Amino acid sequence: MYHQPHTNVKTWRPVVLTAGLLFYTHSLANHIPIKLKYITSMKQILTKITNGEVLTREQTCQIVRHIADGEYNDVQISALLTGLIMRGIKVDEMLGLRDGLIETGQPVDFSPYRVIDIVGTGGDNKNTFNISTCACFVVAGAGYKVAKHGNYAATSTSGASNVIEHHGVRFTADSNLLRRSMEACNFAYLHAPLFAHGMKAVAPVRKMLQIPTCFNLLGPLVNPCRPAYQLLGVANLNQMRLYSSVYEKLGIGYGIVNSIDGYDEISLTGNFKVKTNTMEKIFRPADLGLPTVRPEELYGGTTPDEAAEIFDSVLENRCTESRKNVVLANAAFAIKVIERDKDIAECLAIARESLESGRALACLKTYVELNNKNL
């Protein structure tokens, strides 16, 4: 018989949760709601991981909730991240962590627009210029809605947030302002720290560990607007397999690209692989009618100012042919993700028209005017 706590309420019902903790709830007849809290001990989690067991999607989602609520200390979080690194993260665990980060973050409703995000995992140590951010404006200039989710640079000279902030943009999490931007220029920028509250809770531990963790892989998956489409650049084929399984379970339109020589984007420095919902193929630059590019031609500069100048030169159509072609190739495959029935040559022509007509640049200018810090 369960012990009855001292209370004026006559009817209690015991509930034993999975973790083995006992809570009492009022019977439905009392109409007095209380909040149940599921607590999973870190010992249970680590035991499962060290035994080679795979956590469920719901379990890993719960873990993020508890981390965000401050229920695990830094030592416990460090042990969790290290355990997942050593064992290797699985698809359902990625999905659960992703669910938890979106749930504990600030959402953005762009559902009427069916937006695309163009992003790379980073960490390829190639220090290229801001290829995916340039491609975003090319795609926006072609008339498609783009919601770029990004951050400051971690391993390169300048990340998406660096180059956009360099233009005097004030980042915002205001949904009305973000929608206004989307309506005016087909583009909105979601600066990750303003939205991913769960990420903040693990930031000190990630910094102390000084090695990549599963949270490095989650960045592309936690765009708070939950885009309908995504073009993702990955640095290796193992990541391509992992992300493709994740995207298939999420049910979104996706394209994953990897240059065989290790770039997390289409670099045109050699062959590259593309995997989408409907095809998986290795391309040569010549298949797009484009020449091969030398790695040094993609260099992103040594300072944020230099990186911003390269970015501007691309959108102003005064850059080198190599930089232009790389941006067009990435933009073309982003368009292909949206327009499945179009062939890649047609998508490349759409991207080229956007850039060469000045529409991509017009999108950037309108975006900057709407979001200028001085307004």
Q: Which residues sit in the known binding site? A: 120, 123-124, 128, 130-133, 148-156, 160, 206, 264-265
368, two tokens: 């900057």
* Buried-state track 210-239, b at ≥16 Cβ within 10 A, e below 16: eeebbbebbbbbbbbbbbbbbbbbbbeeeb
Annotated binding site for Mg(2+): 132, 264-265
User: What crossing angle do the helices spanning 344-356 and 359-370 adopt, rounded to 10°?
Assistant: 60
137: three-class secondary structure by DSSP: helix
Binding residues for anthranilate: 120, 151, 206
Residues 176/88, Cβ–Cβ less than 8 Å: no
Q: Is 254 left (phi over 0), alpha (psi -120 to 50) or beta?
A: beta
Supply the DSSP string of 138-160, one letter for each residue: HHHHTT--EEEEE-S-SSSS--H
Beta bridge partners of residue 257, listed in sequence order: 233, 274
Nearest 10 degrees: Cα torsion 159, 301, 204, 88: 80
Residue 332: which of 319, 310, 316, 351 has the closest Cα? 351
Q: Which residues pair with 146 in a beta bridge?
A: 116, 187
Which positions make up the binding site for 5-phospho-alpha-D-ribose 1-diphosphate?
120, 123-124, 128, 130-133, 148-156, 160
Judge whether 221 and 227 are in contact, CB under 8 Å: no
- Cα–Cα dist 125/262, whole Å: 9
Distance in angstroms (rounded) separating the CA atoms of residues 144 and 286: 26
